[in-house]
Amino acid sequence: MRTGWSFIIVAAGQGTRLGGVPKQLRQLRGEPLWTWSARCAQVLFDEGFVEELVLVVPAKMTDAFDLGGFTIPAAIVVGGETRAESVRVGLETARYPFVLVHDAARPFVTPNLCRSLMNSTGKDEGAVPLCPVNDALKKKVALDLSVIDRHDIHVTQTPQCFPREALLKALRRPGTFLDEGEAWLGAGKKLRMVEGDRLNFKITDAADWRLAEALVREEREIRTGHGFDVHPLVPSRPLILGGLVIESPLGLSGHSDADIICHALSDALLGAVGLPDLGTLYPASQERYRGADSYSLLADVIRRVDQEGWHLLWADITLQAQVPRLAGWISPIVDKLSELIGLDPCGRRRVNLKVKSGEKVGPVGSASCMECHALATVQRGG
């Protein structure tokens, strides 16, 4: 269903009140502000409601607007000195009989709002989104305040929808207009209202920007990962657990230093954040990992987890070993691991270690090997 609509995004202002780059190019959750509106246009295109996107940009900045990733047919044109001039350029570039004219400073426009507006637009009728005023209003002239009845007052948002040629005519009339609806009414045309969306607010100053950032802040996400490891116990190897050398007649064998606690904990962390496991990231087939210090590998894993935006809330480790007796080593190992992991905001440790014997059963019970399980709970956002 193609119905003859162009989606015009006006992004030609200098938008300097926020400082730095023009507002429409500032990054909101890692994406330039204008792309949030362009995504709405893309959805409407995918659903068959609009045919093209016209992006009106400031002079000498066309290269800063990258439409890679969008499949909606699109044109980038340079706007004019004023908003009205930029809208006129957009209207002259657009090729379809009806237009949505939208301000790039309103990133939270929804396809739903657009569809309501498009449904209310006719051959001779425009449509704009209006929101009631919820605050009490006062008029201030010099130092004199008077009351304004708010019940008839509404604020106008964008997109605003019109038949294209008729809007061009209305904008060519003499005078200045704050928005297209004003020019349309000034030309004696009928304007319909659609209920606006308070979240479709316009970003103007620093407080608006903070509101926008708060709205798109990623939701808190919590995950748990599991790690497991087993290593044979042999004479003639040092026993290294959690980065500490432990007095023992037997040690664990492996390509690296075989620190089974660091291995299990590393795999739990990697699993929680969805990264490949320890053996894939630091392959035993590579000579440089012969005798590797697994405590340093754990430090590298924690750095990777951090880079992905996650932090460890709690790790619980269970080591199963028949020999040697390890009860006295629990605290030193937890302290050593805490040097890497850090403490929680209240200064408490974030790792727990339990040691169990093999009950003389199976390969652990006969001191052929040790086994270790670890669970890591991580958090992102929030």
The site for Mg ion (CB under 5 A) is made up of 229, 263
CB 242 within 8 A of CB 354: no
Q: 235: Cβ–Cβ under 8 A, 6 or more apart, which residues? A: 249, 250, 251
Number of residue whose CB is nearest Mg ion: 263
Residue closer to Mg ion (CB basis): 57 or 233: 233
The residue type at 7: F
Residue closer to Mg ion (CB basis): 9 or 239: 239
CA separation for the pair 17, 209 (Å, rounded) = 11
Residue closer to Mg ion (CB basis): 43 or 246: 246
What is the separation of C-alpha 297 from the centre of its chain, rounded to a whole number of angstroms? Answer: 29
Distances in whole angstroms, Cα of residue 267 to Cα of each of 220, 307, 311, 377:
23, 16, 15, 12
Residue closer to Mg ion (CB basis): 289 or 314: 289
Nearest distance in Å: CB 317, Mg ion:
14
Nearest distance in Å: CB 273, Mg ion:
19
Nearest distance in Å: CB 9, Mg ion:
54
The residue type at 198: R
Give phi and psi for 311, each to the nearest 5.
-135, 150
Residue closer to Mg ion (CB basis): 191 or 258: 258
Pairing of strands 239-241, 244-246: antiparallel
Residue 220 per-residue DSSP state: P
The strand pairing partners of 53, in sequence order, are: 7, 74
Nearest distance in Å: CB 277, Mg ion:
10
Nearest distance in Å: CB 374, Mg ion:
12
CB 264 within 8 A of CB 373: yes
Residue closer to Mg ion (CB basis): 103 or 267: 267
Find where tokens 């605050």 sit. Answer: 135
Residue closer to Mg ion (CB basis): 279 or 324: 279
CA separation for the pair 279, 242 (Å, rounded) = 18
What is the separation of C-alpha 96 from the centre of its chain, rounded to a whole number of angstroms? Answer: 34
Nearest distance in Å: CB 266, Mg ion:
9
CA separation for the pair 92, 94 (Å, rounded) = 6
Nearest distance in Å: CB 106, Mg ion:
54
The residue type at 306: D
The candidate with the shortest Cα–Cα distance to 180, out of 229, 223, 143, 126, is 126
Residue closer to Mg ion (CB basis): 180 or 229: 229
Nearest distance in Å: CB 262, Mg ion:
8
Q: Give the DSSP letter string of 41-62.
A: HHHHHHTTS--EEEEEE-TT-G
Nearest distance in Å: CB 258, Mg ion:
6
Residue closer to Mg ion (CB basis): 164 or 373: 373
Q: 184: Cβ–Cβ under 8 A, 6 or more apart, which residues? A: 126, 162, 167, 170, 191
